[in-house]
């Protein structure tokens, strides 16, 4: 439940909502994180291929298209970037993903892929320890309530998995 209130801004009286529960505050924070990554995506761009491997992802339901480029040195992801277009959820998820896995080992990246899949598609939420390990990625948790949007949020992760495996294309269908 939200409490409605009025505030004065530059001499005008405007209505606004005050979060009335911790859940409302968290949802607003999560929305802010998603919108920030949509407006100012991190690691947007291309990497030369080779040496980078890449995979193209497509979500036919929403029209999202992403290409994920990843450089792996030894067993460590030394750089990762993405290009493409789509809804705020797909673009934010890709941006958040690049921040999460850059500098991690391939095994850690695969564990993050599994954790996101569990977060978004699992019957139950993952254990608290797993949720805490996700950092800002937990902002995607609310997407699980909107089945049609889950494919938007997982597209970049499918593309990362395909790029790490050497597969060129992936679809959410």
| pLDDT tens string 26-77 | 566 568 888 899 999 999 999 998 999 999 999 998 899 999 999 999 999 9
End-to-end CA distance of the chain: 36
How far apart, in whole angstroms, are the C-alpha atoms of residue 116 and residue 131? Answer: 9
**Residue 44, φ and ψ in degrees, nearest 5:** -80, 135
Tokens of 82: 């993405």
CATH class of 39-171: alpha beta
Q: CA quadruple 11, 13, 17, 18: dihedral positive or negative? A: positive
Residue 24 has what pLDDT? Answer: 58
Residue 146 pLDDT grade (very low, low, confident, very high; cuts 50, 70, 90): confident
Residue 3 pLDDT grade (very low, low, confident, very high; cuts 50, 70, 90): very low
pLDDT in tens, 125-143: 888 888 888 889 988 988 8
Is residue 22 scored above 70 in pLDDT?
no
Is residue 6 scored above 50 in pLDDT?
no
- The reported pTM is 0.82
What is the rounded average pLDDT of the residues 94-115?
A: 97
Dihedral-angle region of residue 138 (phi above 0 means left; psi in -120 to 50 means alpha; beta otherwise): alpha
How far apart, in whole angstroms, are the C-alpha atoms of residue 148 and residue 105? Answer: 31
Residue 21 has what pLDDT? Answer: 58
What is the rounded average pLDDT of the residues 14-26?
A: 53
Average per-residue pLDDT in the chain? 86
Specify the length of the chain in residues: 173
Residue 113 has what pLDDT? Answer: 96
pLDDT in tens, 38-51: 999 999 999 998 99
């Amino acid at each position: 439940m939200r409490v409605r209130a009025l505030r004065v801004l530059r001499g005008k009286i405007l209505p606004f909502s005050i979060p009335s529960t911790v859940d409302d505050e968290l949802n607003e924070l999560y929305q802010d994180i998603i919108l920030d990554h949509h407006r100012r995506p991190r690691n947007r761009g291309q990497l030369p291929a080779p040496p980078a491997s890449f995979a193209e992802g497509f979500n036919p339901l929403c029209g999202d298209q992403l290409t994920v480029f990843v450089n792996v040195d030894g067993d460590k992801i030394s750089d990762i970037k993405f290009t493409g277009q789509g809804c705020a959820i797909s673009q934010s998820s890709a941006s958040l993903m690049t921040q999460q896995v850059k500098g991690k080992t391939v095994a850690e990246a695969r564990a993050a892929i599994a954790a996101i899949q569990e977060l978004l598609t699992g019957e139950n939420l993952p254990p608290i320890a797993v949720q805490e390990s996700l950092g800002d990625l937990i902002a995607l948790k609310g997407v699980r309530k909107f089945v049609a949007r889950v494919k938007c949020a997982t597209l970049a992760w499918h593309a990362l998995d395909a790029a790490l495996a050497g597969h060129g294309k992936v679809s959410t269908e």
